[in-house]
């Protein structure tokens, strides 16, 4: 049995053979147009689901409403920010960080513990960021001079060590041990910042408290932060420094021979991506609680899936990939539990089955479209 080539890929292989001729600019314009079309297509799909969810009733409307709710969850935004960070590591610099959840966990602990000890909000945010930056330095100093897979082993191991330490019963007074820190211990200063009026607001299938624990306030803040991070990465990778990152990804020795300090640039990329991961971790725990196990290996794998789905080394890919990752899983779950009778798969099994589909989708995606939805195949000839 052979695996058939997908038609889209053939098209890509064709244009990747073309040499770097003056129509690079034309190609870039074409790519930008394609990205816009894809993004618009996804938006139209969501609009159709929105329309069906609000104008009809029944199981289809319910499924679509839950898909839309999953897409705007603050946790989706939080993961999107972590994915944007990983995109700087892997997409632009080619660093194999398999411990992004560890950065999220550190950010979350730094933030939540500072707040629960009564420190002001800005200080807590800075402390969360600083712990992640220090963690990045500690990981980077020994490994960034070695081959790529050493960084991979060290990051995944270090993230696991963090998780085990966070669960330690001896540290219960700080981290809450395996029970975790409840959101009520650190959430109030953030909720108090809300300038939204009292009450509830309903827009289509979305109905939340204006402020509340998990309402519009955290959603608006989280998604605005996603936009800011996206804009930040957009400016960053267009700068001379961003070109240096891609250069390192493509050919480290060439950059070194130009007299650049490759180690320092890689380290800067590791720190910046890790800090974004920490920001994601802070948003992730605001509507819920700090649980070491919620930011373990599984989270890292989801982050990778979302990045590859959207397209590594693209600007909007991480955001699009994350939204699709969470929305499509809810869609699969809803459709499975609707279509398959409960005697074969019960509700819990439908949920588990949706993860099976996610795993298989990740495999197929990497096999048939390694550049993701928005990516450019030529940019991703990465081979560590």
Binding site for other proteins (CB under 8 A): 1-3, 96, 142-143, 145-147, 149-150, 152-154, 156-158, 160-161, 164-165, 167-170, 177-179, 297, 301, 304-305, 308, 345, 348-349, 352-353, 355-363, 365-367, 370, 381-384
How many residues are listed for the chain in this entry? 384
What span, in angstroms and rounded, lies between the C-alpha atoms of 241 and 229? 17
Judged by CB, which is closer to other proteins: 157, or 194? 157
Q: How far is the CB of 375 from other proteins (least distance, A)?
A: 12
- Nearest-angstrom CA–CA distance, 163 and 168: 9
d(CA 278, CA 155): 15
- Least separation in angstroms between CB 96 and other proteins: 7
CA nearest 303: which of 53, 43, 91?
A: 91
Q: Which residue has the tokens 């910042």?
A: 193
Compute the least distance from the CB of residue 371 to other proteins, in Å.
10
Give the whole-angstrom CA distance, residue 378 versus residue 384.
16
Whether 220 contacts 191, CB under 8 Å? no
Sign of the C-alpha dihedral computed for residues 114, 227, 8 and 24 taken in this order: negative
Give CA separation, 230 vs 35, 82, 110, 154, 224, in Å.
15, 11, 24, 28, 10
Q: Which is nearer to other proteins, 170 or 202 (CB)?
A: 170
When the beta carbons of 177 and 189 are compared against other proteins, the nearer one is 177
Nearest CB to other proteins, comparing residues 158 and 221: 158
Q: Which is nearer to other proteins, 196 or 301 (CB)?
A: 301
| Residue nearer to other proteins on the CB measure, 158 or 213 | 158
In the block, tokens 């990983």 appear at: 86
Q: Would you say 150 or 232 has its CB closer to other proteins? A: 150
Query: Which residue lies nearer to other proteins by CB, 97 or 230?
Result: 97
Cβ atoms of 159 and 105 closer than 8 Å: yes
The conformation of residue 88, written as its DSSP 8-state character, comes to I
Q: How far is the CB of 228 from other proteins (least distance, A)?
A: 29
Interatomic CA distance for residues 152 and 143, integer angstroms: 9
Q: Are 75 and 287 in contact (CB under 8 A)?
A: yes
Q: Of 169, 85, 94, nearest to 132 (Cα)? A: 85
For residue 2, the minimal CB distance to other proteins (Å) is 6
What minimum distance in Å lies between the beta carbon of 251 and other proteins? 14
Comparing C-alpha atoms, which of 83, 68, 43 is closest to residue 312? 83
Minimum gap (Å) between residue 142 Cβ and other proteins: 5
CB of 42 to other proteins, least distance (A): 22
């Amino acid at each position: 049995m052979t695996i058939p080539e997908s038609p889209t890929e053939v098209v890509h292989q064709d244009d990747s053979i073309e040499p770097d001729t003056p129509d690079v600019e034309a190609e870039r314009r074409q790519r930008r147009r394609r990205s816009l079309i894809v993004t618009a297509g996804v938006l139209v799909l969501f609009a159709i689901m929105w329309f069906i969810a609000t104008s009809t009733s029944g199981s289809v409307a319910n499924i679509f409403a839950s898909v839309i709710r999953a897409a705007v969850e603050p946790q989706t935004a939080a993961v999107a920010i972590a994915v944007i960070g990983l995109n700087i590591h892997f997409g632009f610099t080619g660093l194999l960080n398999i411990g992004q959840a560890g950065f999220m966990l550190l950010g979350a602990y730094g933030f939540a513990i500072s707040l629960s000890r009564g420190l002001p909000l800005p200080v807590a945010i800075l402390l969360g960021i600083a712990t992640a930056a220090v963690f990045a330095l500690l990981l980077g100093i020994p490994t960034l001079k070695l081959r790529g897979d050493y960084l991979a082993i060290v990051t995944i191991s270090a993230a696991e060590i963090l998780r085990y330490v966070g669960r330690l019963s001896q540290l219960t007074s700080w981290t809450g041990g395996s029970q975790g820190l409840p959101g009520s211990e650190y959430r109030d200063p953030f909720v108090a910042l809300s300038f939204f009026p009292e009450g509830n607001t309903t827009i289509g299938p979305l109905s939340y408290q204006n402020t509340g624990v998990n309402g519009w306030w955290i959603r608006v803040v989280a998604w605005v932060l996603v936009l800011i991070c996206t804009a930040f990465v957009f400016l960053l990778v267009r700068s001379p420094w961003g070109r240096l990152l891609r250069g390192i990804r493509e050919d480290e020795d060439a950059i070194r021979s130009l007299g650049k300090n490759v180690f320092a640039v890689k380290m800067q990329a590791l720190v910046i991506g890790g800090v974004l991961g920490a920001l994601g971790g802070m948003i992730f725990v605001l509507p819920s609680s700090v649980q070491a196990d919620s930011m373990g290996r599984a989270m890292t794998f989801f982050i990778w899936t979302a990045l590859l789905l959207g397209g590594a080394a693209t600007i909007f890919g991480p955001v699009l990939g994350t939204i699709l990752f969470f929305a499509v899983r809810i869609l699969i779950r809803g459709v499975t539990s609707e279509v398959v009778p409960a005697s074969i798969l019960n509700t819990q099994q439908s949920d588990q089955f949706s993860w099976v589909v996610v795993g298989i989708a990740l495999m197929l995606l990497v096999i048939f479209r390694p550049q993701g939805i928005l990516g450019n195949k030529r940019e991703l000839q990465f081979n560590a």
